[in-house]
A and B are shown apart, each in its own frame.
Chain A
Amino acid sequence: MSATRAVLAAMAREEWRLHSRLFGGRRFAAFPVFVALVGGLTAWALSTTGTAVDTVVAGAHVLVLLFGLQTGTVGLVGRDAVEDLLGDVTLVLHGARALPISERRLLALFVLKDVAYYAVFVVLPLAVAFAPLLAFGALSLLWVTLVWTFALGLCATLAGVALATRGRPGKALAFVLLAGIALAALAGVPVAAATPYAFFAAPSVGSAALAALPVVALVAIAGVAYDAEYEPPARTAGDAFAAWRDRLPGEDPLLVKTLLDVSRSAGGVWKVGFSAAVLFAVSAFLVSLAGDVVGVRVLPGVAFGSILGLTAFTTYNWLTGAEDRAVYGALPVETAALFDAKRRAFGLLGVPVGVAAYAVAVAWRGAGAWDALAGLALLLGVQGYLFGLTVSLAGFRPNEFLFDTVLFAAFTVGVAVPLVPVLVVGFVAAPLTPAFALALVAAGVVLAAVGHVLYVRAVPKWTERLRDA
């Protein structure tokens, strides 16, 4: 076996084992089926509510592009995150110093492996999900263009990482390139014409060449810019512990450490706001879709409040991302105290960010007083409920269960059961009567109470479970 094939095989095996260890063992094998089912249901639901198939296909390309960016980020720059989950991890990618293979070649093989692995494991089931909407020939083309889009995201990360190895000038160039593309799009330049989606929409040699251009350019940038000898400088920080402890309520060291972790890890506290902004955009999209396409007059307060309640999951993810149980094994810290610190950190960070995003939505969409009140109650209720549900299902590791098919299915059902009825109400109950608004407020209170009960019952469950494992 040649060195290239041996490395590729080792990387593919490593990827599978990493996922199966992280995400529920052999249950991970069911993940493609889950993707196909959920994707199929979503595509079918969107098309039957009047959304054009082209729009759904375009949305799938956007999702896969983001997935490619995320996959590249975790693999190429997220070593800390992987180590926090799995302990001391050395990927084949990081083993160049122990192998007679150059780092450039390893990087190229890593990208190739990722494209092949995810093309089969995630992108193929996603393409299959469109079976109810597209003919077989179009499905095959869709798979090709989705894989191509995934590669585009991955290569963008690769180019970003390569430019970052050139220090500030490299980062400045990356920023200029990004800003240039954004400005061009705003100025009306058809940027989307140079994407695999354009090739799917109108297959031709010309559109294929145009779509290949960004991938080739990004690979070329990565090849030229990458400095294999680059070592990032060690980061230092002033002593913030005492100052934060004095300012935060309760003088709780666990709370201080949690918030320091969030503020110092990649993205800082801004990542909490970024997650809320993504959900804000989803809410805005759904509200405009319901209004423009389906012709329903939506209650913006109820709709935005319910969907922005999902920020509870993303915020809890950020609050637990840097947690390492081994540290607490050496200290006299009750598991319950650590959960309590996470809950208070959530109250200090997650709730205000959710409310702020909601306030912007209410002001922007001009919600009425009763609608705004009901939406606020639902926001807080869904946040409280989801916090309890996430703690109950995932303990301190919410990011792990995203790919654990059984747990994720349980979470999906747990989210859908209260959220879907509330959203339906939000989409059909306009104009909102005071009595109906008060009923929704009561629903918010009930959801928060259920979340509290889930949380209270989860703490002893996880305390026991962590002592037995």
Chain B
Amino acid sequence: MSASAYLARGREPRGVNAIATEELQKSYGPVTALAGLSLDVPAGELFGLLGPNGAGKSTTIRVLTGQLRPDSGSASVLGVDPVAEPIRVRERVGVLPEQASPPSFVTPREYFEFVGEVRGLDEETVTERVDEWADRLSYREKLDTLNTDLSRGQQQKVMLTGAFLHDPALVFIDEPLVNLDPLMQETVKRFLTAYRDDGNTVFLSTHDIDVAEALCDRVGIVSEGELVATRRPAELGPDERLLDVFLDRVGADAREETAPAAGESR
């Protein structure tokens, strides 16, 4: 697809940065969540932000989607400043917040109608995409059950559908595979890869190294609010694993704990 075609669909041409941040800082009282995070994600990339719990992954997504104002630094998402224009950013991107549940007292079908209305989608498009997603994630029979009575996994499917309902050029997804069974995890992984292949950008936050290694074009490792390394899993050497890079940069103590004892094979 040509660069002009991408732009016409609201997508950045490949190579242009879909996301760019510079020296983002954010503290919650005495706790520093982001300590000068700088990163670039080119359009058309499936980028993974990998880090231990509390490293600042979710805060990064909240800042980039305009939900949270950073203390300092700058960011650009599809050419829009999320601090100055948070609503415009959220109009253009899809968001799957971490561990979020759909509203308790509406059904998935009603929730998607609600999301469609908020996003200005016509009813036909909503119906078509909901059908497609309900079949993809196998929850059609749950479309008229109150969200509060769905299992965690089913709620995650509903939230995934909501994030992609408007066919965004860029999605932020926080732990997308959590609560899903292995079959569904594979389905979602395949979908994300195909979605990227269509020229879209995916910003995925996870603490699951296997998911990051298997799925992402490039992985950024974040620790204590800073980007400490980036790697392309496909370009790792035969003796190099993402786990080793992660342990080197994030936790020397953890590395010692996981290192094999003398004479033990790895």
The answer to the question of B4 belonging to the interface, with a C-beta cut-off of 8 Å to chain A, is no
The answer to the question of A97 belonging to the interface, with a C-beta cut-off of 8 Å to chain B, is no
Chain B contacts of A292 at CB under 8 A?
none
Given contacts A239-B110, A467-B67, A329 and B118 within 8 Å (CB-CB): no
The answer to the question of A140 belonging to the interface, with a C-beta cut-off of 8 Å to chain B, is no
Q: What is the 8 Å Cβ interface bit string for chain A, positions 67-85, against chain B (1 contact, 0 not)? A: 0000000000000100110
Q: Are A80 and B110 in contact (CB under 8 A)?
A: no
Given contacts A239-B110, A326-B100, A467-B86, A331 and B115 within 8 Å (CB-CB): yes
The answer to the question of A234 belonging to the interface, with a C-beta cut-off of 8 Å to chain B, is yes
**Which of A157-165, A260-268, A302-310, A437-445 lines the interface with chain B?**
A260-268
Given contacts A322-B103, A326-B100, A327-B100, A334 and B146 within 8 Å (CB-CB): no
Chain A contacts of B119 at CB under 8 A?
331-332
Given contacts A260-B106, A264-B105, A331 and B145 within 8 Å (CB-CB): no
Q: What is the 8 Å Cβ interface bit string for chain A, positions 215-236, against chain B (1 contact, 0 not)? A: 0000000000000000010111
| Docked CA distance A417–B231 (Å) | 63
Nearest CB in chain A to that of B112: its residue: A241
Given contacts A257-B114, A332-B119, A327 and B103 within 8 Å (CB-CB): yes
Q: Are B107 and A237 in contact (CB under 8 A)?
A: yes
The answer to the question of A14 belonging to the interface, with a C-beta cut-off of 8 Å to chain B, is no
Q: What is the 8 Å Cβ interface bit string for chain A, positions 281-322, against chain B (1 contact, 0 not)? A: 000000000000000000000000000000000000000001
| Docked CA distance A294–B265 (Å) | 90
Docked complex: B154-169 residues within 8 A CB-CB of A: 159, 162-163
Q: Are A332 and B118 in contact (CB under 8 A)?
A: yes
Q: Are B146 and A468 in contact (CB under 8 A)?
A: no
* Min CB–CB distance B128 → chain A (angstroms): 16
The answer to the question of B117 belonging to the interface, with a C-beta cut-off of 8 Å to chain A, is yes
Nearest CB in chain B to that of A84: its residue: B104
Chain B contacts of A256 at CB under 8 A?
114, 117
Q: Are B86 and A241 in contact (CB under 8 A)?
A: no
Q: Are A253 and B117 in contact (CB under 8 A)?
A: yes
Q: Are B99 and A261 in contact (CB under 8 A)?
A: no
The answer to the question of B95 belonging to the interface, with a C-beta cut-off of 8 Å to chain A, is yes
A-B CB contacts (within 8 Å), total count: 117
Chain B contacts of A88 at CB under 8 A?
99, 101
Chain A contacts of B97 at CB under 8 A?
326, 329-330
Nearest CB in chain B to that of A464: its residue: B69
Q: Are B103 and A234 in contact (CB under 8 A)?
A: no
* Min CB–CB distance A410 → chain B (angstroms): 23
Q: Are B104 and A265 in contact (CB under 8 A)?
A: yes
Number of interface residues of A (CB under 8 A): 39
* Min CB–CB distance A334 → chain B (angstroms): 6
Nearest CB in chain B to that of A242: its residue: B113
Q: Are A239 and B113 in contact (CB under 8 A)?
A: yes
Q: Are B105 and A329 in contact (CB under 8 A)?
A: no
Q: Are A238 and B101 in contact (CB under 8 A)?
A: no
Q: What is the 8 Å Cβ interface bit string for chain A, positions 318-353, against chain B (1 contact, 0 not)? A: 000010101101111110000000000000000000
Nearest CB in chain A to that of B97: its residue: A326
Q: Are B65 and A329 in contact (CB under 8 A)?
A: yes
Chain B contacts of A333 at CB under 8 A?
87, 90, 118
Q: Are B104 and A330 in contact (CB under 8 A)?
A: no
Chain B contacts of A135 at CB under 8 A?
none
Nearest CB in chain A to that of B103: its residue: A327
Chain B contacts of A83 at CB under 8 A?
101
Chain B contacts of A332 at CB under 8 A?
87-88, 90-91, 118-119
The answer to the question of A87 belonging to the interface, with a C-beta cut-off of 8 Å to chain B, is yes
The answer to the question of A171 belonging to the interface, with a C-beta cut-off of 8 Å to chain B, is no
The answer to the question of B144 belonging to the interface, with a C-beta cut-off of 8 Å to chain A, is yes
The answer to the question of A435 belonging to the interface, with a C-beta cut-off of 8 Å to chain B, is no
Chain B contacts of A326 at CB under 8 A?
97, 100-101
Given contacts A235-B145, A329-B97, A330-B163, A261 and B106 within 8 Å (CB-CB): yes
Q: What is the 8 Å Cβ interface bit string for chain A, positions 32-69, against chain B (1 contact, 0 not)? A: 00000000000000000000000000000000000000
The answer to the question of A245 belonging to the interface, with a C-beta cut-off of 8 Å to chain B, is yes
The answer to the question of A240 belonging to the interface, with a C-beta cut-off of 8 Å to chain B, is yes
Q: Are B148 and A324 in contact (CB under 8 A)?
A: no
Q: Are B106 and A241 in contact (CB under 8 A)?
A: yes
| Docked CA distance A324–B159 (Å) | 13
Nearest CB in chain B to that of A235: its residue: B146
The answer to the question of B62 belonging to the interface, with a C-beta cut-off of 8 Å to chain A, is yes
- Partner pick for A236 among B66, B115, B117, B146, CB 8 A cutoff: B146
- Partner pick for A265 among B67, B69, B105, B149, CB 8 A cutoff: B105
| Docked CA distance A256–B107 (Å) | 13
Q: Are B106 and A257 in contact (CB under 8 A)?
A: yes
Q: Are A235 and B149 in contact (CB under 8 A)?
A: yes
Nearest CB in chain A to that of B96: its residue: A330
| Docked CA distance A467–B88 (Å) | 15
- Partner pick for B146 among A87, A253, A264, A327, CB 8 A cutoff: A264
The answer to the question of B57 belonging to the interface, with a C-beta cut-off of 8 Å to chain A, is no
| Docked CA distance A240–B144 (Å) | 10
| Docked CA distance A135–B96 (Å) | 61
Q: Are A239 and B109 in contact (CB under 8 A)?
A: yes
Given contacts A260-B106, A329-B65, A467-B68, A239 and B100 within 8 Å (CB-CB): no
Nearest CB in chain B to that of A324: its residue: B103
* Min CB–CB distance A395 → chain B (angstroms): 15
| Docked CA distance A235–B65 (Å) | 33
The answer to the question of B102 belonging to the interface, with a C-beta cut-off of 8 Å to chain A, is yes
**Which of A80, A83, A88, A239 has the most chain B CB atoms closer than 10 A to its own CB?**
A239
Nearest CB in chain A to that of B100: its residue: A326
| Docked CA distance A332–B120 (Å) | 10
Q: Are A238 and B144 in contact (CB under 8 A)?
A: yes
* Min CB–CB distance A272 → chain B (angstroms): 15
| Docked CA distance A329–B115 (Å) | 12
Chain B contacts of A330 at CB under 8 A?
65, 90, 94-97, 100, 159, 162-163
Chain A contacts of B101 at CB under 8 A?
83, 88, 324, 326
Interface positions of A (Cβ within 8 A of B): 80, 83-84, 87-88, 232, 234-242, 245, 251, 253-254, 256-257, 260-261, 263-265, 322, 324, 326-327, 329-334, 467-469
**17 A–B contact pairs at CB < 8 A?**
A83-B101, A235-B145, A237-B107, A239-B109, A239-B144, A256-B114, A260-B105, A264-B106, A326-B100, A329-B100, A330-B90, A330-B96, A331-B119, A333-B87, A333-B118, A467-B67, A469-B28
